Amino acid sequence: MGKLILPLFCLVLMNCSKHETDKQALNADLVEVVPQEKAISSSVSPPHSVSEKLLPDENTQQGIQSSKKQTDTISRKVIKNGEMRIQVGEIKKAQNQVNDIIKKNQAYIEKEQFQNTDMDDNLNLTIRVPHKHFDALINSFSDGIGSVLSKNISSDDVTEEYTDVSIKLANKKIYLEKYRDMLKSAATTKDILEIQENIRELEDEIDVAEGRLRFIDDRVNYSTLQLSLYKEKVRSSATSKIGFGSRFIDSLTEGWNSFVSFLLGLISLWPFFLLIPLLVFLWKKWKSRRKKA
């Protein structure tokens, strides 16, 4: 009897383990089937608008991911700007030296402004220089031209902004192509008009993004330097001989001229002086009539 019970017990255990294995396999099959059925049902359901039709599919997502990978390789974008004020002995000589330094560093003058006053001469230049020559240009201006009165150099890292704009631009171009493909297969006038409006908005946004990237590239590739050449004028012998008495008389003259100007200004207001008494007279007359009434 004991010899029969042992084989029967082993057979029962084998059947139980086989049943559990089949049950796990069935559950695994159900897990695989259910998501597929959900995906099929969601893809069959018709979209309600053109915007819902343009949900990111697998190809679009791959394009977006590839655009992000491309922007990950963007080099660092740093905008350098500077301001310098230099006191020189002769404006013309210093300007010639500046022009030689500009040519040597492959730069150019974007704007030039000259101002001549009784006290000094000022030549203001806006210089654009390649990014790699910016430091050399600053050092050249600091040596040999004149006495540097002030210098201010700044650096602005715009890599994050450039990367963000580049990613959004690449994604907009991907969606623009999707809209153009949809326009070819649009069946109703409503869908055509809606797709064309979306295409127009995307094209405008793409133009703005591309313009921003071009502006950043220009500022990164060419740094900007505001250079001011300053020369203080020496007083002439006639001016240096002016003493306290002459200045006192000049001050009296200026005071008298100011008083005359003030008096003439009051005289020019004579119509208002005539109008004020008339208004006062009418007001008193109206007030007296009101008391009698």
The tens digit of pLDDT for each residue in 41-65 reads: 333 333 345 545 554 455 555 555 5
Decide: 253 and 122 in contact? Cβ < 8 Å: no
Phi-psi region of 144 (alpha: psi -120 to 50; beta: other; left: phi over 0): left
CA 254 to CA 19: how far, in whole Å? 117
> How large is the average pLDDT for residues 276-287?
83
Query: Integer distance in angstroms from the first to the last C-alpha of the chain?
Result: 141
SS3 234: coil
Q: Which of 61-65, 123-127, 167-171, 191-195 has the lowest mean pLDDT?
A: 61-65
Q: What is the largest CA-CA distance in the chain?
A: 147
**pLDDT exceeds cutoff 90 at 232:** no
β strands within the chain, DSSP E? 78-87, 108-116, 120-130, 147-157, 222-232
Long-range contacts, stretch 62-65, CB < 8 angstroms, 24+ apart: 63/170, 63/174, 64/170, 64/171, 64/174
Give the separation between CA 234 and CA 210, rounded to whole angstroms.
Answer: 53
Average pLDDT, the chain: 77
Q: 87, 147 in Cβ contact below 8 A?
A: yes
| pLDDT tens column, 250-275 | 778 888 888 888 888 878 877 877 78
Report whether pLDDT(201) > 90: yes
